[in-house]
Amino acid sequence: MGETTEYHPKLYEPVVMIIGLALAIFGVIIGMELICRVGINPNTSIIGALIAIAFSYIPVQFARNMRNVHRINLMQTVISGATFQAGNVFLLTIAIPYLLGLTGGTYFYGVIMGVLIGGFVDIIFAYWIFDSPFYPARNPWPIGVSTAEAIKAALARGKRALLLLYGMIFGGLLTYLGYPGDVVGITLITQIVAITSFGVGLILRAYGPTLVGIDFYKIYAPQGIMVGAGIAALIQFLLLYLKVRKKPSKESGSGSTASVPPTLIGASDAARRLFMAFILFTAGALVAGLITGVSGMMNPAMFLLWVIYIGFQAWFTTLVCAISGMYAGWFPAFATALAALVISLIFGFPPLAAGIGVAYVASTGPGMADLSYDLKTGWILRGEGKDPNFERIGRRWQFYAKILSIAVSLIMVAIFYNTYFAGLNLYPPASKTLAATAKAAADPELARWLLTWAPVGLILQLIGGPQRQIGILLATGLMISNPPAGIAVLVTVAARLALVKALGAERLRDLFYVGGAGAVGGSAIVSFVVYTLRAFLRI
């Protein structure tokens, strides 16, 4: 194969480390704010890439050093990791046992340690298995492709970076004036049917008693719809998996054709790593169960069953999220966690033990899918595997970038989680659903309502299909009491449709996607400074 002659930047280079830390903090702010206030997180890779590119246009040599596709690739890897790690892996997961009454002490910090283990093993697994016959780099990975194309286009012309800045100012100003700038930005970016479902849910939560005479939240409609939609999302994944399995195999190896480049990881190595990942996830479940006190909630045989079951579910979740992200561009982490929780309750695990277990399971999946997207971006920018040695070097530095994002996320979530939960009474909507489902084992009335509404979510999710996520997003909207956000979604959707009809989708693509991404980032900064930081300083 020969040795590569191209130089790959290092994470410890001054410009890379300084901008990387700044983007990691920015990504954490976006992740914490949106997962609590909106309930969903966007992929911030393009935001980070465009910020780094804009910085590279500052007329000093230190800044110009950033104008390199591989340095930009490291930056988008850091910020996307920070967003998902802070919001989905840490804040969402630790809120579950918190809502179940575990609000402090040694056992609660054990929960944080447990989800850290789960999240860390998750990205190790992604690093091990990406570009293997199970998860080839040449497969779609749509988020990774869009990020790579945005980086190449923005480096070629700087107009996108300027558009991002305008979007940040717009989103920040809206939020400062009391309007949901982040919701406007997300509505411009997201699949339009999916975000409309979210907006309808917000409106029904706010105005249901007036419009139809029903308070949907009091009769557990959001939780029940989410349960049904989660089950449907799993069915959709299984159908997708079976469809993929029926396709002719193009597995790499010594017999690969010249037109189909071999995968970097061989089949035998990949199979061994799959097994090793299962062992690591199970060992992590054992450690989490011991340090959180789960071992004392049941007899040894039940605890052993809990460890094996939670370890398997964590491993299964990463597989589901990766294959779904590879083909559909979305990962049903919540759906798999919800299914794991329901089965936990069937096994007879105590509600708090089931909640701690699902927190560990929920910490796995997002990191797997997110790092795979970033590795796909890097794979494209590094020449699509034509130089295996250079590809290995680049992948390794992207993995280190993800570790940096985990470290920053852990520190900031540890500082601010109590501000969100106790100070602002803000919890991720998915955490509320999972906690309420855990309590259902001891509350027959709640269980009855969950069973009443679950078929609605299941049917809506199946009708909408995997890319629209109608059931899950409707339920998410129903869980959030934010009337202005509902109005903002529907108004922005109407404006978006009118503009597309008048000017055409192609002419508006950058305005919507890049400007919307900027609005999300600007809104998150202003919201964090004006609300979260102020509440934190009062404590």
State the average pLDDT over residues 72-96: 94
**Cα-Cα-Cα-Cα dihedral of 135, 136, 140, 142, to 10°?**
60
State the average pLDDT over residues 283-302: 94
Per-residue pLDDT, 258: 45
Sign of CA dihedral 284, 420, 523, 191: positive
pLDDT, tens only, 4-55: 557 899 999 999 999 999 999 999 999 999 898 877 777 788 888 888 988 9
Residue 139 in domain = yes
Ramachandran category for residue 139: left, alpha or beta (phi over 0 → left; psi -120 to 50 → alpha): beta
- For residue 246, pLDDT over 80 is answered with no
In whole angstroms, how far apart are CA 55 and each of 14, 215, 512?
Answer: 14, 49, 22
Q: For the purposes of burial, counting CB atoms within 10 Å of the CB of 403, is it exposed (0-12), middle (13-18) or buried (19 or more)?
A: middle
Report residue 33: phi and psi, to 5°.
-65, -50
Per-residue pLDDT, 532: 72
* Six-digit token string for 491: 């108004």
> For residue 421, what is the DSSP state?
I
- For residue 425, pLDDT over 80 is answered with yes
Residue 259 in domain = no
Residue 452 in domain = yes
State the average pLDDT over residues 526-530: 84
- Looking at residue 483, its amino acid is P
Residue 372 in domain = yes
Decide which of 218 and 312 is more confident: 312
In whole angstroms, how far apart are CA 445 and each of 96, 128, 341?
Answer: 21, 45, 18
* Six-digit token string for 129: 């298995």
Domain count along the chain:
1
What would you measure as the largest C-alpha separation in the chain, in angstroms? Answer: 72
* CA atoms of 151 and 140, how far apart (whole Å): 18
- For residue 260, pLDDT over 70 is answered with no
State the average pLDDT over residues 501-517: 86
State the average pLDDT over residues 188-214: 89
Decide which of 418 and 162 is more confident: 418
Query: Cβ of 257: how many Cβ atoms within 10 Å?
Result: 9
In whole angstroms, how far apart are CA 47 and each of 76, 374, 402?
Answer: 8, 13, 16
Percent of the chain with pLDDT over 70: 92
* CA atoms of 221 and 201, how far apart (whole Å): 10
Domain range for 342 is 14-244+264-538
SS3 377: helix
pLDDT, tens only, 312-361: 999 988 887 887 777 766 676 777 788 788 788 878 899 999 999 999 99
Per-residue pLDDT, 241: 63
Per-residue pLDDT, 84: 93
Residue 208 in domain = yes
Candidates 331, 5, 317, 318; CA nearest to 144 is: 331
* CA atoms of 533 and 539, how far apart (whole Å): 10
Residue 83 in domain = yes
Per-residue pLDDT, 95: 94
Residue 206 in domain = yes
Decide which of 478 and 330 is more confident: 478
pTM across the whole model: 0.80
* Six-digit token string for 487: 């109005």
- Looking at residue 454, its amino acid is A
Residue 255 in domain = no
Inter-axis angle of helices 300-328 and 351-362, nearest 10: 30
* CA atoms of 30 and 12, how far apart (whole Å): 24
Q: Which residues 6+ apart lie within 8 Å of 139 measured at CB? A: 326, 327
